[in-house]
C-alpha cells in the first residue's frame, strides 16, 4: 500500500511538472514576411531582429518561444481568440490600445515614403494625388493612408505582406509605398531590385495614429504575462543583449524610444 502511494505521488509530481513545462511555452504571433525584423532564415526557421529579441526575452524569463506564423492583420484576432499568448512587436497606437494591452517599448522606427529616385514625389496629398501608393494591411501606415490620403484622391493599395509591395514597386505597378523606414531600407533598398528607389521627404507622423514605439501585444488584463515580458526586456537591456542584437542588424542606427512613458500608459 505504501509503495502504491509513493507511485501515485510520483505520478502526480510528474504530471504537475509536465503541466508546468507546458505553461512555460509561450506562443508568439509572428509575420515572417517583414525582413529584417521578421523573416525565414536559410533553414526555413523564424529569424530577424524581432525574433532574436523575443528569443532573448523568453530565455531571460525561462520560457520557451513557439512562433505561430500568420499574416500581420490576423495577429490581433489570433490573440483575442487565445490562439497565441502574445504578439511580436507592433506599433502602440490608441486604436490598438482599445482592444489589447502592451509591454514596455522595445524600439522605434520612423514611417517614410519610398519612391523611385528622381520621381519628385513627397509624402503630401498634393504630390501623391492620383498615384498608386501601397500600404501593408493592418499596419499603422494603412490607418494613416486610409484616413488622410484615400479621401483626397490618392489610390491607396492594400497588400497582405511587404514582399508583395516590393515586387510591385520594382515591376512599376506602384508609384510608391508608405512603410516603416528601417524595414524598407534593409528589406528592399539594400537589394539589387531596390537600387532605383529611395526614401523621400520627411518622416510621416500623426500624434493620434502613430506610435512612438513598438511593444509586445498582450490580452487585456493579462498583467502576469505583461510583467514577465517587461522583466525579460529589462534584463536584456541591462546586460547588453538588446544592444548587441540591434547592432548586428542595424549597426549604430538609433532605435531606442525617446520617452520614458510606458507603452501601456492610458491616453
- CA atoms within 13 A of residue 156's CA, in its CB half-sphere: 23
- Do 111-203 and 25-108+212-250 have the same topology in CATH? yes
Give CA–CA dist 85/225, Å, rounded: 8
User: Three cell numbers at 133?
Assistant: 501608393
So what CATH class is 25-108+212-250? alpha beta
Q: Find the radius of gyration of the CA atoms of the chain.
A: 21
* pTM of the shown model: 0.68
Q: What is the CATH number of domain 111-203?
A: 3.40.190.10
Q: At what angle do helices 241-250 and 223-238 cross, to 10 degrees?
A: 80
Residue 30 neighbours by CB under 8 Å, 6+ apart: 38, 46, 50, 51, 67, 68, 69, 70, 88
Domain locations in the chain as residue ranges: 25-108+212-250, 111-203
Q: Which pLDDT value is given to residue 18?
A: 43
Q: Which pLDDT value is given to residue 93?
A: 85
**What is the per-residue pLDDT across 101-136, written as a single tens digit (0 to 9) for each?**
999 999 988 899 999 999 999 999 999 999 999 999
Task: List b or e across 87-125, with b for residues whose CB sees 16 or more CB atoms inside 10 angstroms.
Answer: bbbbbbbeebbeebbbbbbbbbbebbbbbbeeeebebee
**What is the per-residue pLDDT across 217-258, written as a single tens digit (0 to 9) for each?**
999 999 999 999 999 999 999 999 999 999 999 887 778 887
pLDDT under 70 in the chain at which residues? 1-23, 259-262, 265-267
- Sign of dihedral through CA atoms 175, 177, 178, 181? negative
Pick from 99, 101, 114, 84: nearest CA to 189: 114
Amino acid at each position: 500500500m505504501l509503495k502504491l502511494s509513493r507511485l501515485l505521488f510520483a505520478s502526480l509530481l510528474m504530471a504537475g511538472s509536465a503541466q508546468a513545462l507546458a505553461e512555460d511555452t509561450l506562443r508568439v504571433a509572428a509575420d515572417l514576411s517583414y525582413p529584417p525584423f521578421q523573416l525565414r532564415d536559410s533553414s526555413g526557421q523564424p529569424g530577424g531582429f524581432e525574433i532574436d529579441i523575443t528569443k532573448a526575452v523568453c530565455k531571460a524569463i525561462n520560457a520557451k518561444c513557439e512562433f505561430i506564423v500568420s499574416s500581420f492583420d490576423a495577429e490581433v484576432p489570433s490573440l483575442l481568440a487565445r490562439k497565441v499568448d502574445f504578439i511580436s512587436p507592433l506599433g502602440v497606437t490608441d486604436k490598438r490600445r482599445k482592444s489589447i494591452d502592451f509591454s514596455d517599448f522595445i524600439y522605434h522606427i520612423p514611417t517614410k515614403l519610398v519612391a523611385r529616385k528622381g520621381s519628385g514625389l513627397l509624402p503630401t496629398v498634393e504630390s501623391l494625388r492620383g498615384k498608386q501608393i501601397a500600404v501593408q494591411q493592418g499596419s499603422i501606415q494603412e490607418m494613416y493612408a486610409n484616413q488622410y490620403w484615400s479621401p483626397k484622391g490618392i489610390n491607396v493599395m492594400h497588400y497582405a505582406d511587404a514582399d508583395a509591395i516590393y515586387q510591385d514597386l520594382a515591376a512599376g505597378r506602384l508609384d510608391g509605398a508608405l512603410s516603416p523606414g528601417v524595414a524598407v531600407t534593409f528589406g528592399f533598398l539594400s537589394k539589387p531590385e531596390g537600387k532605383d528607389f529611395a526614401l523621400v521627404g520627411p518622416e510621416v507622423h500623426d500624434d493620434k495614429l502613430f506610435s512612438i514605439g513598438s511593444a509586445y501585444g498582450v490580452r487585456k488584463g493579462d498583467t502576469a504575462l505583461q510583467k514577465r515580458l517587461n522583466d525579460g526586456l529589462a534584463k536584456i537591456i541591462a546586460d547588453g543583449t538588446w544592444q548587441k542584437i540591434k547592432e548586428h542588424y542595424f549597426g549604430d542606427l538609433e532605435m531606442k524610444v525617446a520617452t520614458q512613458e510606458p507603452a501601456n500608459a492610458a491616453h
